[in-house]
């Protein structure tokens, strides 16, 4: 199969999280993933988009860009905001760490992404934004 990709933008509104999750799942379906694989991808995308909505723009609305690329059986999903950035990525990756305890956030977003995807890379810069790159190899059936 030839390399394939899709890129789309959504406003950082929580109501758009389910659309993003479903759109990515629909795109990945061309690889005929298992139910488990598609659920892993949907969960990871949900976490990445939710992080961008809650933390990316600090009480304002901005763009979240989502891109998906397929190369062979590998899916690469990038969720990027152009907001405030993460000051300490390593600290943010620690399970149960949250900067918004008043919102009853569990601080498990990055840990969940890492458990469901084969690879997760987080690139962030203060006042520039955050890019979450997730990769998963889909089994051949």
Active-site positions read 47, 51, 105
- Cβ-contact 44, 113 below 8 angstroms: yes
Q: Nearest 5°: CA angle at 110, between 106 and 114?
A: 130
Contact in structure between 117 and 136 (CB atoms under 8 Å) = yes
Contact by Cβ (8 Å): 43, 25: no
């Amino acid at each position: 199969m030839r390399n394939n990709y899709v890129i789309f933008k959504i406003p950082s509104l929580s109501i758009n999280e389910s659309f993003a999750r479903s759109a990515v799942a629909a795109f990945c379906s061309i690889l005929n993933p298992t139910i488990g694989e598609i659920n892993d991808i949907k969960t990871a995308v949900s976490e990445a988009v939710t992080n961008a909505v809650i933390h990316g723009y600090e009480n304002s609305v901005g763009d979240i860009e989502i891109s998906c690329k397929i190369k062979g059986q590998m899916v690469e999903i990038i969720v990027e905001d152009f907001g405030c950035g993460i000051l300490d990525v390593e600290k943010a990756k620690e399970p149960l760490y949250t900067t918004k305890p008043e919102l009853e956030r569990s601080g498990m977003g990055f840990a969940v992404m890492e458990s469901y995807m084969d690879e997760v890379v987080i690139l962030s810069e203060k006042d520039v934004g955050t890019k979450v790159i997730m990769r998963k190899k889909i089994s051949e059936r």
